Amino acid sequence: MCRDQTEFSLHRTRGKPRLSRPRNTHAVSVESEALERHEELQTSASLFGAEQLSAEEAARLLADERSRLVVFVGDRGAGKTSLCVELYERQRAHPSGVRFAGSWTLLALEQLAHLRRVGRGSLPPTPEAGDHHILHLALEAGETPRHLLLADLSGEIFRRLAHNQLSAADVPLLARADKLVLLVDGEQLVDVGARSSALTWVRQLVERLRSQRLPKPGAQLALAVTKWDTAGADRDAVAYWGPREGELLAELRTLAEDPRALHLGANGNAAGDGLAALTAWMLEVEGTAREPPAGLLREPIELAPPPLNALPPPVPPMPLMPLMPPPVPPARRRSLLPWRRRR
């Protein structure tokens, strides 16, 4: 554990950041040293506690320019928590181009992943009460890792927000979010009676964001359909969603530049489930090839081979060392003790 005074650790027993204290270099008693060691072990173990991060703890991580706050906005059952767990399990398998770089909520993600395996893909709804609703996931797509803070809020909050029963100012994470992902449940698009209500819910939510002047300047928006493996297999659902997706993207352009349309599914195909595109969008690794600045040569430079006289002289081979004869073992000494003599 780093003993630097500038480093901090998350104290899980009280749920607030705690500065690490420098160790006393003076002589201490055995009992006080044992207590200090026990406290250090508890603090280091709490770095990867089973609790999610609170807004206060996440603010310490968001002070780093490499951190991004991602808020998944969706109704109950849209798959917000399942999407966070799937991102964790997918990146832990070391896909091409993206590497798992750690997590401050590792045990919390493992507990959710275990519940998802036991429940055969289903997870219990996220409780609305409490102040710990942020999962941390560090991913590395280049030389510098990115810290993704995934807000796992209850769907009831966004339902009340869409129905104008709650103000966006009551959800401070929306104003702080670097990336907002509006989730549409794909199973509702298959249901003829529920698809219109799902579309109305998204439009109401967009209107609430516009009235509160959200998101913040520079933030990015995405429109994602979850469970696309179910909706994409239904021709009526695809025909219904196609033109309406374009209309929603046109409305999102009034809130942010270049909104993205994503189709997320769990079809078992890592190349076609949309998670790779979502990860690249969150990590901002798309379009890494940049144009050279003005004034630099754009044509390749052909280098001529160096002249022969410029090459260093060859190194002469080292002479072979003569073989040394094997060492001769010393002669066995005869015991001088009388009781060890043979008779």
| pLDDT tens column, 235-293 | 999 999 999 999 999 999 999 999 999 999 865 555 568 898 999 999 987 543 333 33
Average pLDDT over residues 339-343: 53
Domain layout of the chain by residue ranges:
8-48, 53-283
pLDDT, residue 239, reads 96
* Closest alpha carbon to 158 in 79, 74, 83: 74
Instruction: Quote the percentage of the chain above a pLDDT of 70.
Output: 64
Residue with tokens 């207590």: 35
Q: Which CATH class is domain 53-283?
A: alpha beta
Instruction: Quote the percentage of the chain above a pLDDT of 90.
Output: 40
The two beta strands, 53-54 and 16-19, are: unpaired
pLDDT per position as a tens digit, 284-323: 875 433 333 333 233 333 434 444 444 445 545 545 444 4
pLDDT, residue 292, reads 33
pTM confidence score: 0.68
pLDDT per position as a tens digit, 168-210: 889 999 999 999 999 999 999 999 999 999 999 999 999 999 9
* Closest alpha carbon to 274 in 263, 283, 259: 263
* Closest alpha carbon to 127 in 105, 152, 154: 154
Type of residue numbered 343: R
The Cα 209–Cα 182 span in angstroms is 11
Dig out the tokens for 128 from the structure: 């609305």
pLDDT, residue 140, reads 87
Phi, psi of 161 (to 5 degrees): -70, -40
Phi, psi of 290 (to 5 degrees): -110, 150
Beta bridge partners of 19: 8
Confidence of residue 29 (pLDDT cuts 50, 70, 90): low
From first CA to last CA, the distance across the chain in angstroms is 70
Cis peptide before 307 (omega within 30 of 0): no
Q: Among 55-59, 72-76, 181-185, whose mean pLDDT is lowest?
A: 55-59
Burial (0-12, 13-18, 19+ Cβ within 10 Å), 108? buried
Dig out the tokens for 12 from the structure: 């899980």
Average pLDDT in the chain: 75
pLDDT at 343 over 70: no
Average pLDDT over residues 18-44: 47
pLDDT per position as a tens digit, 80-111: 999 999 999 887 776 667 888 889 999 999 99
Q: How far is CA 284 from CA 6, 98, 178, 181, in A?
A: 29, 12, 11, 15
